[in-house]
Structure 1
Amino acid sequence: MELANIEKLLEKYLDAETSIAEEKELKNYFLSDNVAPHLQEYQAMFGYFSTSKNERFTKTIQLKRKKTNWKWLSVAASIVLLVSVYTGYQNNQQKKAEKIYAETRMAFGMLAANLNKGNDAILQLQHFEDTKNKIFKQPKK
C-alpha cells in the first residue's frame, strides 16, 4: 500500500500539485535505503535536493558598478553654457545699441536747440540790419 501511495505522490509531485507535508514524505522515502527498483532514478534527484540545500557560496561577488556617463553630461552643460553666453551677448549688444541711440538722440536734440538759438540770433541780427538800413537809408545789396 505504501508503494502505491508513493507512486501517487510522485505523480502529484511531477505535476506540481503536492503540499509541503507530502513533499517531506517523498523526501523521507527516497532518502531511505528501501526504494523500489523502478523508482531509484528519482532517488538521485531527492538526494541532490537535500545535499544542495546545505551548500553555501563563499566567494565574493564583484558587482559591476553602473558608471554614470559624464561625457554626455559635460556635452549638455557645454551646450547650455554656449546658448546662455550667446543669449547674454545678444542682450548686451541690444542694450548697447539702445544706449547709443539714446545718446545720439540727445546729442541731436542739443544740436537742434543750439541751431535754433543761432537762428534766433541771426533773425535778431537781420531785424537789426533792416532797422539800421531804414534809419540810414542804405540801399540793399
Structure 2
Amino acid sequence: MVMSRLAVCFSITKCYYLLLSSYLHATREHRYLTLKVNVRSKGPNPEIELTNYMKSIEDIHGGEVHVRRVLDSFSIDGPHGTHCCILYEPTGIDLSDFIHRLEDGALPQVMLRPAVRYILIALDYIHQLGIIHTSIFSFNTYLEP
C-alpha cells in the first residue's frame, strides 16, 4: 500500500477516517476504506498480529466472514512519535447506534436472533483458533451495510 494512493474523505471519529483508495493497481478501481490511526506504541500491534495469525490458518469453519480483519497497515511519524495506521473495509453502523435509532430502543426479535447467531459463529471461530475476545459490546459489533 502506498500512502499517496489514499485520499481522506472525512473523519468518522477522532482516530477513524473514511478513505478513498485507488491502490488496486491492475484495474485502477477506486474503493472506500477505513483508516484507524493508533496512538503511538512501542510494541507490535495486536490487531495486525491476530489478523496475520488468522490468515495463516485455512478457514474450514465459515466464521471467518464475520470477523473484521486488517487489510493493510503502515506507520507514520508524527510530532509525538510513530503511529501505527490500519486499513479496514468500512463497516456498517454499530449495534449500539442502530438500537438507539429504533423507535422502541430495542432490537426486534426478528433481527436479534440472526445478530446473536452471527456473533456466536464469529466467537466460535476465533475460540477454535485459540483467540479470546475480551470486549464484546454493542458499540464494537457492526452491522453489514
Instruction: Tell me the TM-score normalized by structure 1.
Output: 0.19
Higher helix share: 1
Radius of gyration: which is bigger? 1
Higher strand share: 2
Instruction: Tell me the TM-score normalized by structure 2.
Output: 0.19
Higher relative contact order (CA 8 A, sep 6+): 2
